[in-house]
Amino acid sequence: MVINRIDHVSINVNDLSEAKAFFLDLGLEVKAEWELAGEQLDRIVGLNNVKTACVGMGMPDGQVWIELVKFYTPSDEREIQQPLANTLGIRHICFNVEEIEAIIAKLKKRGTEIFSEIQQYEESYKLCYVRGPEGIILELAETIK
């Protein structure tokens, strides 16, 4: 058995356009947009009467693929979760960035929640956690050269 790579990360959102705008601001590009519904999708995800809209986003070099998914049906009746960095389960996505200070300044202007000021980790990274739309946690990491 061989695992070749992680194919994509899926993020379920209520406001697809806001989530898309957030990741566009970070420098990702829209690679594809589509809608899905039907019995085969129902069987794949283990739900009934599924109808979704999706936006596939990636880096210009193709290294990262994120699927933003809006479930029209069935809907999740719970409120948007606001997990903390230590909440169990898949918790954040880390992007290696350049000019972290400029990115954080841009995100602050946008109203993005910043967990802390930029911190230097040893002699290797400048790091900062932010919360995007709908509770999405991102870690931004700039390699110190």
DSSP per-residue string spanning 73-123: ESPP-SPPP---TTSSSS-EEEEE-S-HHHHHHHHHHHT-EESSS-EEETT
Largest CA distance in the chain: 52
* H-run or E-run covering 22: helix 16-25
CATH of domain 92-143: 3.30.720.110
Q: Residues spanned by CATH 3.30.720.110 within the chain?
A: 92-143
Rounded Cα distance between 9 and 32, Å, is: 14
**CATH of the structural domain 9-73, one choice from 3.10.180.10, 3.20.20.150, 3.40.50.12780, 3.30.479.10:** 3.10.180.10
pLDDT of 11: 93
Reported pTM: 0.85
pLDDT of 82: 80
Q: Residues spanned by CATH 3.10.180.10 within the chain?
A: 9-73
- Show pLDDT as tens, one digit a residue, over the chain (145 residues): 767 777 889 999 999 999 999 999 999 999 999 999 999 988 988 999 999 999 999 988 877 789 999 999 998 877 777 888 788 888 889 999 999 999 999 999 989 999 889 999 999 999 999 998 888 999 999 999 8
Rounded Cα distance between 137 and 86, Å, is: 11
69 in Cβ contact with 8 (< 8 Å): no
Rounded Cα distance between 18 and 135, Å, is: 12
